[in-house]
């Protein structure tokens, strides 16, 4: 949520800040602003709405001279989207400028204290108290002042702060929100995300919780939570810059849908060696795996839906009780877990606030924690006993596609790996699954090659007011993701139901012209699904059926059919979800929705 960028060097700061914010706008786009320090004075320009407004207002940064600055794109938490509530926030005497991601939980008592001391506030945000508090504490020493500020704050934050008496340095601090430093030549950067700096430098330092850094053009000093200076070498990002650009596509979402075969291949590639699954990042012994008596999966949004698929797979292959919980529910329910529970946390960013809290709760109760994340060195990864990275590359569109698919792929690898280690499958079954997963990218490519069929269906139904997604067993888990995609980017009211539950209430919503998207990829339940289709058609529904390639004619059953290639049962979700992604994309396109930045949503949810 929200995006931070900072620059200190010898080039003009404002244009670079705007370019960085452009890469971060998926994190928040209610308002934006930049602050530049020039000749011991801080100048701030802010705007409500998309970044383009700010760019036009500053003539692409040319109206703000100076070689050091900070910027922010906002997803509102405290205070409505407005110019006043936009970051950066200035202290009353304009000595300090602050950009902030996160939530200051004790901002009200701090604000009350400062008001009594005569400070005047202009915004409704929690962030303004940081700037005002810095000015209140200031004794001429920037570093010592920020130490006092941090000791007063409660909550979560990623901070970048300017002081007009120190026109050559930015001070940054991190607690439960992502923050990285980009190390350049005669210039350095700070950002919420690597995507904002990768066009200028691929040398990255990740800050850990509790750390603070002082950044100058030719110097970076990092301090631990006790303010002892520490050394940390940067790591090199191996991304091609094109991975964070549209590269000819109209939207990042379509690009990322089309990247799924390669992303899945990259997830699989290094993990299958000489016909064996190799998961070097798992730190569990065979004895520990044997002792697992329950698997508990936590995630939010699409990551939760991956967990719903995983539940069926783990219970089928491992015969181990598996529960899947929304992270925000898990963390507050006093969960029944112990040292013999394996908790699997799924998060694209590795910074999802509720999932991070769930991981910490699980660790406190003695469970083993394995995380599935995309971002190396992220907070969830750091808190986990073992980590499996998806290697999906940057995903810019707010609505996830390739992250979902690569998370699914990790689930397949993990389930097969554990099943073989625990002798739950035979050698021939293990060999079969290896073959099937290696062929998965090709099969996804086949589904994508027929995207025009799905595009035609979108043209028929983009005016639908409601869409129902139904399935049984693992198909129901995929239906959940299909319904979410329709909600997220096309703003169509959509719901997913277990097909067997239709007659227990939801079928009352079916009327003439209702669109029902039916998933039926489990052969042993296919006839059951045919019965469900007949039930809704008898009440006037129009049915799109997604199923396996099959010899018999089923045109008389459904109105429209989408066939997926033959693949083993547990991996069919990776194929069935693709038409659902494409369907929602083209509906959103036809409705002229903002596909990559859907309203009220942000990519990395780092607040509760």
Residue 178's beta-bridge partner residues? Answer: none
The secondary element (H helix, E strand) that includes residue 415 is helix 402-421
pLDDT at 321 over 90: yes
Q: Average of pLDDT values for 189-206?
A: 90
pLDDT value at residue 300: 95
Confidence class for position 554, pLDDT limits 50, 70, 90:
confident
pLDDT at 530 over 90: yes
User: Which of 2, 163, 308, 593 is the catalytic position?
Assistant: 2
Token pair 């801080």 is found at 42
pLDDT value at residue 27: 62
Smallest CA-to-CA distance from 355 within 306, 405, 417 is with 306
Q: Which residues contact 407 (CB under 8 A, 6 or more apart)?
A: 303, 306, 346, 348, 372, 390
Q: Average of pLDDT values for 24-36?
A: 80
**What domains does the chain contain, in order, with CATH numbers?**
3-238 (3.60.20.10), 252-438 (3.40.50.10490), 451-590 (3.40.50.10490)
pLDDT value at residue 260: 97
Are the CB atoms for 506 and 495 separated by under 8 Å?
yes
Q: What percent of the chain has pLDDT over 70?
A: 96
Distances (CA, A) of 469 to 3, 316, 460, 479: 34, 24, 17, 5
- Identify the residue with better confidence: 220 or 606: 220
Instruction: Map 438-457 to HEC letters.
Output: HCHHHHHHHHHCCHHHHHHH
Confidence class for position 328, pLDDT limits 50, 70, 90:
very high
Q: Calculate the average pLDDT of the chain.
A: 92
pLDDT value at residue 463: 93
Structure tokens at 166: 């120190």
What distance in Å separates the CA atoms of residue 126 and residue 129, rounded to the nearest whole number?
Answer: 6
For residue 2, indicate whether it is catalytic: yes
Distances (CA, A) of 439 to 414, 431, 462: 17, 13, 33
Q: For 339-366, how does the pLDDT look when each residue is reduced to its tens digit (9 = 90+)?
A: 999 999 999 988 888 999 999 999 999 9
User: Which of 202, 487, 597, 603 is the catalytic position?
Assistant: 603
What distance in Å separates the CA atoms of residue 83 and residue 470, rounded to the nearest whole number?
Answer: 44
Confidence class for position 1, pLDDT limits 50, 70, 90:
low
Query: Phi, psi at residue 168, to the nearest 5°?
Result: -125, 10
For residue 300, indicate whether it is catalytic: no
Confidence class for position 52, pLDDT limits 50, 70, 90:
confident
Kindly write down the DSSP assignment for every residue of 20-66, as one continuous string. Answer: HHHHHGGG--SEEEEEEEETTEEEEEEEES-HHHHHHHTTTTTTS--
């Amino acid at each position: 949520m929200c995006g931070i960028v900072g620059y200190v060097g010898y080039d003009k700061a404002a244009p670079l800040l705007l370019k960085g914010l452009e890469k971060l706008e998926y994190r928040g786009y209610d308002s934006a602003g930049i602050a530049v320090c020039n000749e011991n004075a801080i100048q701030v320009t802010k705007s409500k709405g998309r970044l383009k407004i700010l760019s036009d207002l500053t003539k692409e940064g040319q109206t703000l001279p100076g070689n050091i600055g900070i910027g922010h794109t906002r997803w509102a938490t405290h205070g409505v989207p407005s110019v006043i509530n936009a970051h950066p926030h200035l202290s009353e005497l304009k000595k300090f400028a602050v950009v902030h991601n996160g939530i200051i939980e004790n901002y009200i008592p701090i604000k009350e204290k400062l008001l009594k001391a005569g400070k005047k506030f202009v915004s409704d945000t929690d962030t303004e108290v940081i700037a005002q508090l810095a000015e209140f504490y200031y004794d001429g020493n920037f570093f010592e002042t920020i130490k006092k500020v941090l000791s007063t704050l409660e909550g979560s934050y990623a901070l970048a702060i300017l002081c007009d008496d120190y026109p050559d340095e930015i001070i940054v601090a991190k607690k439960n929100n992502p923050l990285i430093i980009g190390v350049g030549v005669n210039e350095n950067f700070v950002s919420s995300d690597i995507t904002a700096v990768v066009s200028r430098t691929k040398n990255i330092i990740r800050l850990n919780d509790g750390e603070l850094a002082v950044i100058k053009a030719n110097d970076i000093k990092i301090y631990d939570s006790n303010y002892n200076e520490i050394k940390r070498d940067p790591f090199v990002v191996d991304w091609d810059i094109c991975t964070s650009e549209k590269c000819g596509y109209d939207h990042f979402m379509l690009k990322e849908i089309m990247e799924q075969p390669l992303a899945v291949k990259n997830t699989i590639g290094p993990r299958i060696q000489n016909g064996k699954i190799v998961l070097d990042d798992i730190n569990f012994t065979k004895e520990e795996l044997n002792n697992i008596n329950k698997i508990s999966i936590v995630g939010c949004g699409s990551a939760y839906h991956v967990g719903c698929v995983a539940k069926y797979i783990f219970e089928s292959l491992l015969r181990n009780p598996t529960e899947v919980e929304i992270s925000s529910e898990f963390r507050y329910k006093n969960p029944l877990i112990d040292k013999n529970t394996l908790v699997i946390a799924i998060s694209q960013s590795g910074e999802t606030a509720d999932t991070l809290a769930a991981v910490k709760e699980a660790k406190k109760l003695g469970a083993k924690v394995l995380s599935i994340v995309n971002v190396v060195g992220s907070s969830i990864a750091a808190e986990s006993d073992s980590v499996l990275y998806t290697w999906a590359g940057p995903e810019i569109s707010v609505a996830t596609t390739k992250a979902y698919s690569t998370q699914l792929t990790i689930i397949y690898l993990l389930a097969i790996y554990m099943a073989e280690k625990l002798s739950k499958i035979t050698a021939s079954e293990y060999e079969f699954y290896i073959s099937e997963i290696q062929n998965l990218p090709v099969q996804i490519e086949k589904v994508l090659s027929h995207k025009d069929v799905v595009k035609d269906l979108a043209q028929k139904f983009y005016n639908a007011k409601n869409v129902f997604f139904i399935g049984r067993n693992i198909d129901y888990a995929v239906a959940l993701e299909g319904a979410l995609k329709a909600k997220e980017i096309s703003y169509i009211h959509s719901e997913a139901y277990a097909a067997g539950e239709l007659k227990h209430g939801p079928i009352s919503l079916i009327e003439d012209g209702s669109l029902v998207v039916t998933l039926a990829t489990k052969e042993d339940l296919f006839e059951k699904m045919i019965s469900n289709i007949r039930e809704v058609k008898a009440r006037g529904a129009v049915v799109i059926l997604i199923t396996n390639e099959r010899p018999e004619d089923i045109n008389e059953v459904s109105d429209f059919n989408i066939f997926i290639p033959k693949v083993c049962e547990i991996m069919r979700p990776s194929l069935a979800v693709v038409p659902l992604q494409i369907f929602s994309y083209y509906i959103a396109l036809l409705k002229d929705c903002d596909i990559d930045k859907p309203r009220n949503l942000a990519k990395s949810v780092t607040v509760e």
